[in-house]
Amino acid sequence: MKDSPKTRTEAGKPPGNAPDPAGAVFAEPWEARAFALALTLSNGGRFSWDEFRDRLIAEIAKADAAANREVRAAPASPGGPYYECWLEALEKILREKGLLNAEEIERRAAAIAASPPARTKARSRGPIKIA
Amino acid sequence: MSAHDHDHDHNAPDSGPTLRVKALEALLVEKGLVDPNVLDALIDAYEHKIGPRNGARVVARAWTDPAYKARLLADATAAIEEIGLAAGPQGEHLVALENTPTVHNMVVCTLCSCYPWPVLGLPPVWYKSAAYRSRAVSDPRGVLREFGVELPPGVELRVWDSSAELRYMVLPMRPPGTEHLGADELAALVTRDSMIGTAVVTYPAESRPAK
């Protein structure tokens, strides 16, 4: 614990008093997916919540230390680095429990990145008949 | 550490967290480990159904029913179940802390983000920030001041660290002048921050009936 209070949070706001935008529980859609993945896997008994929490605490401690050294890159979310830590903890526990391996995660991420979103299916081709 | 470094080494345009999460979800669904419909339902619940309005109901009930208040302070988990809230994850061991004219309680999770989900939903961004997690301990009165709460010197400030074992919620003081209000009207006055202990409940003049 530092004696000198930090004057800004990771989100660049004054500490403590910035209200969240109304109703915005998650700042980004991926945060919601990452949250729900961890919760549903834990609910299903794939790992205990404490096991996940231990890894989350470790990632947060790492992020705090990096922020104190000011070496950390800007967080990917306006909500701050918290869900990046969450995602890191989730990937770790998935690998450690043997549910997914690092290679298949990389492969799938690369495949998704390489495939453009399939828009054509959703695009209307116009009326099938005009009478 | 090595895995962490690896994840951030490649900075291709699409290597952000959106892509990582998509890859994880796709693989986990393929393996039958998660059901995407369950994910949707969970997200919907935490975005729209499980939030501080739940806790506000608990507070209003405690303000209007002394026997309920006694049960809440004795066993908060049982007391929230009594009014139809599922203790569920992060609510199994809930403790209610009563604010009084001489004691103000404030809750933090110094290590991560432990929080009483069933009564307050998911925590706000500031609750998870490094600044709040450290300063709630090093300078709690200063933090309260930034939230607009000036605690009189005679009031003892107690800071509680939430953990995996215990989740705390604050039972704020009922504001004066609300004796005529029913439980629903009282619940509408109760804010999320007042149940974290970073605000007090007020009864604004404009919402009072004209005399």
Shortest distance between the Cα of B156 and any Cα of chain A, in A, equals 20
Chain A residue with CA closest to B124: the answer is A20
Check residue A96 and give its pLDDT: 97
Spans of all domains in chain B? 14-48, 51-207
Q: How far apart are CA A77 and CA A29, in angstroms?
A: 10
pLDDT of A126 > 90? The answer is no
Check residue B12 and give its pLDDT: 40
Q: How far apart are CA B28 and CA B184, in angstroms?
A: 43
HEC letters along B162-181 = CCCCCEEEEECCCCCCCCCC
Q: Which of A83, A90, A91, A107 to mutate to test the interface with B (most CBs of B within 10 A)?
A: A91
| Residue, of A115 and A122, whose pLDDT is higher | A115
Q: How far apart are CA B134 and CA B127, in angstroms?
A: 11
Specify which of A17-21, A122-126, B33-37 reaches the highest per-range mean pLDDT: B33-37
pLDDT of A120 > 80? The answer is no
Check residue B39 and give its pLDDT: 96
Which whole-number Å values give the CA distances from A130 to A123, A126, A127, B140, in the listed order? Answer: 19, 10, 7, 70
Is A75 in contact with A12 (CB distance < 8 Å)?
no
Q: What is the pTM of this model?
A: 0.80
Q: How far apart are CA B44 and CA B49, in angstroms?
A: 7
The encoded tokens of residue B103 equal 């004691």
Residue type at position A48: S
Is B12 in contact with A25 (CB distance < 8 Å)?
no
Residue contact A91–B112, C-beta within 8 A: no
Out of B20, B89, B139, the one facing A39 most closely (by C-beta) is B89
Half-sphere exposure for A6 (CA within 13 Å, toward CB): 25
Out of B1, B20, B130, the one facing A67 most closely (by C-beta) is B130
Report CA torsion sign: A19, B115, A5, B102: positive
CB pairs under 8 A between A and B: 194
Check residue A125 and give its pLDDT: 72
Is B181 in contact with A50 (CB distance < 8 Å)?
no
pLDDT of A36 > 60? The answer is yes
Burial class (CB in 10 A: 0-12, 13-18, 19+), A111: exposed
**B residues 160..199 contacting A (CB < 8 A):** 164, 198
Check residue A2 and give its pLDDT: 35
Catalytic residue flag (residue B162): no
Q: How far apart are CA B190 and CA B192, in angstroms?
A: 7
Burial class (CB in 10 A: 0-12, 13-18, 19+), B127: buried
CATH topology classification for B51-207: Nitrile Hydratase; Chain A (3.90.330)
Beta-carbon contacts of residue B50 (< 8 Å; ≥ 6 apart): B117, B118, B121
Residue contact A15–B143, C-beta within 8 A: yes
Distance spanning both ends of chain A, measured CA to CA: 75
Residue type at position A86: W
Check residue A78 and give its pLDDT: 67
Check residue A39 and give its pLDDT: 95
The encoded tokens of residue A19 equal 């209200």
Residue A70, sorted as left (phi over 0), alpha (psi -120 to 50) or beta, turns out to be: left
- Judge whether B139 is closer than 8 Å to chain A, CB to CB: yes
Please give the average pLDDT of every successive group of 10 residues along chain B, which has 211 residues. 42 69 96 96 91 95 98 97 84 91 96 93 92 95 96 95 91 96 95 96 80 55
Q: What are phi and psi of A10, to 5 degrees?
A: -60, -30
Check residue A57 and give its pLDDT: 95
* 3-state class (DSSP) for residue B31: coil
Catalytic pick from B2, B15, B113, B163? B113
**B residues 9..48 contacting A (CB < 8 A):** 12, 14-28, 31, 33-35, 38-40, 42-43, 46-47
Residue contact B17–A84, C-beta within 8 A: yes
pLDDT of A5 > 80? The answer is no
Half-sphere exposure for B3 (CA within 13 Å, toward CB): 19
Catalytic residue flag (residue B163): no
Spans of all domains in chain A? 29-114
